[in-house]
């Protein structure tokens, strides 16, 4: 290989690396936002709506294969325009209502833009798949410019994630050719998972109602930040009491 070819290969490698890094930075930005919202929600409501998150980047090979399937031009601009799930973030929640709480919190982030929303919970796929899909435009501040990067965010419950994970493994095992009898059972399993989600949501609401009716006063005398507990000074509590007496 001559020197010109080597230089061209190096330049191409650097361009691909920088292109992929931009999507990686967008994921980092989103994960930081989620961590902040998670900690703030825990502080304000003493409850964490997020069980865990998982992020992934498509490989360059997978991106090119998808570009070929779509019969699109092979260029960075074409990739940006036609492939919206290069960067993906999956947020797994405890309860159904948490999904929409998180969506609403993300919508309030003024630097994010929701490009598309697909609600497969209200409208499940024929195979029973449920999840809330968002395409979100994230600004990434590079050294010489601002890149607006699209990432796909999937928000689902533990039950939805469990079903989707096993369904994917079954399809992989059968190389996409799953027998019709098993497809029917998979749909039944999805329905059962959805029924469990609804039941757990009802129990969650009933427990929250009981907590509101019987507040723990001892909990009001302390604050917790980053797993560190602080007791409120007695002088501050006395000031609060004196203020209440004036009222």
Please list the active-site residues: 152
Burial class (CB within 10 angstroms; exposed 0-12, middle 13-18, buried 19+) of 91? buried
Q: Name the DSSP letter for residue 241.
A: H
How many angstroms separate the CA atoms of 88 and 168, rounded? 17
For residues 83 and 63, give the distance between their C-alpha atoms in angstroms, rounded to a whole number: 8
Q: Is the distance from CB of 155 to CB of 134 less than 8 angstroms?
A: yes
Q: Which residues contact 206 (CB under 8 A, 6 or more apart)?
A: none
Distances (CA, A) of 48 to 3, 101, 121, 223: 56, 11, 21, 16
């Amino acid at each position: 290989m001559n020197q010109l070819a080597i230089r061209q290969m190096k330049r191409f490698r650097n361009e691909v690396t920088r292109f992929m890094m931009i999507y990686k930075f967008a994921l980092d930005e989103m994960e930081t936002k989620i961590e902040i919202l998670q900690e703030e929600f825990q502080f304000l409501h003493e409850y964490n709506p997020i069980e865990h998150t998982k992020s992934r980047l498509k490989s360059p090979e997978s991106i090119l294969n998808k570009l070929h399937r779509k019969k699109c031009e092979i260029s960075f601009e074409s990739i940006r325009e036609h492939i919206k799930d290069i960067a993906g973030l999956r947020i797994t929640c405890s309860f159904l209502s948490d999904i929409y709480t998180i969506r609403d919190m993300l919508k309030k982030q003024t630097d994010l833009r929701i490009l598309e929303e697909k609600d497969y919970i209200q409208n499940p796929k024929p195979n029973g798949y449920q999840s809330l899909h968002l395409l979100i435009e994230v600004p990434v501040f590079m050294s010489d410019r601002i890149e607006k990067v699209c990432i796909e965010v999937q928000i689902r419950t533990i039950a939805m994630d469990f079903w989707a994970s096993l369904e994917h493994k079954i399809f992989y095992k059968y190389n996409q050719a799953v027998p019709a009898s098993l497809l029917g059972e998979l749909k039944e399993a999805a329905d059962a998972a959805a029924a469990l989600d609804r039941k757990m949501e009802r129990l969650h609401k009933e427990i929250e109602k009981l907590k509101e009716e019987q507040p723990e006063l001892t909990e009001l005398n302390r604050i917790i930040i980053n797993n560190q507990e602080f007791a409120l000074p007695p002088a501050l509590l006395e000031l609060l009491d004196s203020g209440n007496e004036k009222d």
